[in-house]
Amino acid sequence: MKAHLLIDIQNDFMPSGSLAVPGGDEVIPIVNELMPKYDLVVATQDWHPENHGSFAANHPGKSIFEQILLAGLPQTLWPVHCVQNTGGALFAPGLDTRLIDRVFTKGMNPQIDSYSGLYDNGHSASTGMGEWLKSQAVTELQVAGVATDYCVKFTVLDALGEGFDVSLITTACRGVNLQAGDVDRALEEMQAAGCKVM
């Protein structure tokens, strides 16, 4: 079975959102057209409590994009984004959510971020996605969404680690590029780990 994996196609990652990914909205028409071609469509949703430790606003004196240690792990500080039950956390308008079979939320623990759709950044808790995909006999994943250099990359690396055959649909991914070249380096890292780049 082959699944389409849609990463964080949410308002706050669209060009007008609080953690805007340039061109993030351009992936929507592409994935809408692709979704019907898969046995299953699975989406992730970044879903943070207001007090989440990845928000610069929760660390007085710290700035957005600064690096800190959060419960012992390196953490980039982000603008407040994808807060549970706010508009910013909703799937972006135009995404045909009727074709999504399952949604996995991530990033609920205030003490640890979760870029990957499968595990938190410390690999201490599973979202259940990998287990569920295996229960559905899925062996092949084709990944699209945002951001290429964060949540897409870590989802791909974890999925490869779980033994899935993973391809990245690069035309349907957009990245943050906080530092010039981050997206290119992320693509190289994913390929080196065994991901096919389409």
Tell me, yes or no, if 46 is annotated catalytic: no
| Cβ-contact 20, 157 below 8 angstroms | no
Q: How far is the CB of 180 from ligand VGL (least distance, A)?
A: 18
Task: Identify the sign of the CA torsion 59, 45, 155, 197.
Answer: negative
Q: For residues 2 and 185, which CB has a smaller minimum distance to ligand VGL in the complex?
A: 185
Task: Indicate the helix (H) or strand (E) that contains 183.
Answer: helix 182-192
Residues 6+ apart with CB under 8 A from 180: none
Among 151, 158, 173, 195, the one annotated catalytic: 151
| Residue 83 touches which member of Zn ion, ligand VGL, none, C-beta under 5-8 Å by kind | none
* Rounded (10°) CA dihedral 171, 105, 48, 55: -40
Q: Which is nearer to ligand VGL, 8 or 25 (CB)?
A: 8
Nearest approach, Cβ of residue 124 and Zn ion (Å): 17
Residue ranges in contact with ligand VGL by CB under 6 A: 8, 13, 46, 78, 146-147, 150-151
For this structure, is 106 an active site residue? yes
Catalytic residue ranges: 8, 106, 151
